[in-house]
Amino acid sequence: MNKKLTALLAVSSVTIAALTGCGSGQSAKTESTKTESPKTESTAASLDQSGEAGITDAEKKVEGDLELALFQGGYGADYWEEIISRFEEKYPDVHVNYKINPKIGDLIRPQIISGDVPDLIYHNMGQSDGVVLGLIKDKELLELTDLFEENALDKEEKLKDIMLAGKLESKAYAPYGDGKIYLAPLNTSPTGLIYNKALFEEKGWEVPETWDEFFALGDVAKEDGRALITFPGIYPTYCENFLNTSIADAAGMDALNDIFDYKEGSFSNDKVMQVLKNIEKIKTGGYLMDGSTGLNHTQSQSEMMLGKALFIPNGTWIENEMKDAPRENEENFEFALLPGLKLNADDPDFVSTSIEQLSIPKNAKNPEAAKEFIRFIYTDDSVRLFGEKAQGMIAVKGATDLVKEYFTPGMNNMFSVLSDESVTTYSPAYQTPPANAKFNKNMIYENGLLPVLNGEMDAEAWAAFTEKGFASLREDLASENK
């Protein structure tokens, strides 16, 4: 293992706007290390409908030990334990060894430094331990483009064609900008503006698509004694994905990628400025709930749920995080999600989704078995199992229907945006700044959006501040690469 990688693995840096949500930290258990996988029963159907463990034409003959390193967060361990058991039943010549732990990056770092890498890693590039990010920066991951050219195990379609539109093109999975895939999506979860669907139906209000419709609804809300929107002013980065999606809707994905790469002029072009001015109008037009800038995430979420504001920037984790919180109408309340707001009704539709990634180190001892395990994860029955056991959705087309029976009405409402074929998903991935950089992407919100919504800064000053920060980052990156 080269010295550069060893140094990178020792550094913690969060550079990916991976909104994994508050749920990613729930009920973490102690480390599990597999010796014999339990053969448990599930309400989900067996992956081998015939009950036999033979290899079909679609499957590959794989064998040997397969070592998995799995992050344990809000999705728990139950899905992994059962899917591993089923994989071993289907592929009897493979013996799976696995570790699952909330600090999996810290556990496998010594292995990676010594060259004894796991065969497959479930861990995000945005985690603070920097392990996967280090592997990416040093190009120590196996290219997976060929895997996605193969057929799915349970249908006559290539893997790339069953993935949600836009996923594989994101830098979160094709990190070098050359179209080659090095990380595989696991689950996906949309983010945007959360609202109470039941209230809208009760009032006969249409969900806005454009900024003009949004503000028109705000005027109606004022007459009903409600604010249009609130947000957690103590944590303004909650607005990140709603803003990014609105920029993509207005200016296109290339323009948003330019922002992720800190390109000159990317945060001040005409389309972006229109979006920023609409953010400013939330304050100047009196559409922001009073006191929002002093609230934390749960306080602002509570206010929205009590009907004091119609919208709040958030994600699907709000359902579980606020399950015991009071709401305006206990008997008739359903979360739903609006990804972003468009300048014009015919603008394209995008939705920001969280990042959960699978990767195979370049020096894995059993890469073929690891690839087959990824194909196994993308089967319909695995998707159902993930919905049942983890209350999550794997990033494939049709997953919303497959997991529907395991989700609440509110969860189904929020995830339904992913079943709309006119909507393109993306996962934000900012270029990694040097450790000593004076500017970071969080400052766009903490030192830009927040003062705008406090009435202390206008959209032009916000854009100028961010452009100056981007210039500083470009200088830092140039110095780092010398």
With a cut of 80, say whether residue 209 has pLDDT above it.
Answer: yes
133 pLDDT more than 90: no
Residue 43 above 60 pLDDT? no
Please check the confidence at residue 216 and state whether its pLDDT lies above 70.
yes
Closest listed residue to residue 262, CA positions, set 443, 56, 31 = 443
**Pairing, β 184-185 against β 227-229:** unpaired
- Residue 402's φ and ψ, nearest 5 degrees, are -70, -30
- Residue ranges per structural domain of the chain: 64-189+354-420, 191-352+431-481
Q: Report the range of poorest mean pLDDT among 161-170, 195-204, 218-227, 230-239.
A: 161-170
Class of the domain covering 64-189+354-420:
alpha beta
Cα dihedral value 443, 449, 451, 452, nearest 10: 150
| Contacts with 326 (C-beta within 8 Å, 6 or more apart), sequence order | 302, 305, 306
Helix (H) or strand (E) holding 273: helix 270-284
Predicted confidence at residue 6, as pLDDT, reads: 42
CA distance 253 to 248: 5
Kindly report the average pLDDT of the chain as a whole number. 88
Number of Cβ within 10 Å of residue 143's Cβ equals: 14
Of 126-130, 241-245, 472-476, the poorest mean pLDDT is in: 126-130
Q: How far apart are CA 389 and CA 400, in angstroms?
A: 15
Region 331-357 average pLDDT: 94
pLDDT for 174-183, tens place per residue?
A: 988 899 999 9
Same fold, 64-189+354-420 and 191-352+431-481: yes
pLDDT at position 288 over 50:
yes
d(CA 339, CA 353): 10
**By three-state DSSP, how is residue 450 classified?**
helix
423: part of which helix (H) or strand (E)?
strand 423-426
The reported pLDDT for the residue numbered 58 is: 67
pLDDT score of 45: 38
Strand partners, 70: 100, 122
Does the structure show a pLDDT above 90 at 293? Answer: yes
* Axis crossing angle, helix 253-260 with helix 270-284, rounded to the nearest 10: 80
| 191-352+431-481 homologous superfamily | Periplasmic binding protein-like II (3.40.190.10)
Summarize the confidence of residues 61-77 as an average pLDDT: 92
